[in-house]
Amino acid sequence: MDRAGKPRAHLYVSNDEPVLDLSDKAGRPRVMLGADENGARLTLWDEAGEVRAVLGADKSGPALALVDKAGKLRLTLQRKPAGSPSLHLSDQDGTVIWRAPQ
């Protein structure tokens, strides 16, 4: 609870997965941390309640995804199952405009 008596953090179990949710002063979700047998993820929401970033790690490796205000995936950074890194940058239409490796 914050000073105003509003709950701002929630720790619970959903589908056998522990979850920690953090909310802003208005009660909007801003951060979620979850884990299960496949891995863990951290999700970040903006002030409008839109998902803007997801960081995860599972059996295939770590990954980061960044989303713009329109909900379009703009950046992905991950480690491929074979161990090599991968980076994709997309334009406002979701078209990949740059990637590495090529």
Q: What is the mean pLDDT of residues 32-48?
A: 95
Domain 9-100 sits in CATH at 3.90.930.1
pLDDT reported for residue 59: 86
Q: Mean pLDDT for the chain?
A: 93
The answer for 21, left when phi > 0, alpha when psi is -120 to 50, beta otherwise, is beta
pLDDT reported for residue 101: 87
**Collapsing DSSP states into helix, strand and coil, what is residue 42?**
strand
Confidence check: pLDDT of 102 > 80: no
Query: Where are the domains positioned within the chain?
Result: 9-100
Q: What is the side-by-side order of every strand in the sheet holding 96-100?
A: 9-14, 17-23, 29-36, 39-45, 51-58, 61-67, 73-79, 85-90, 96-100
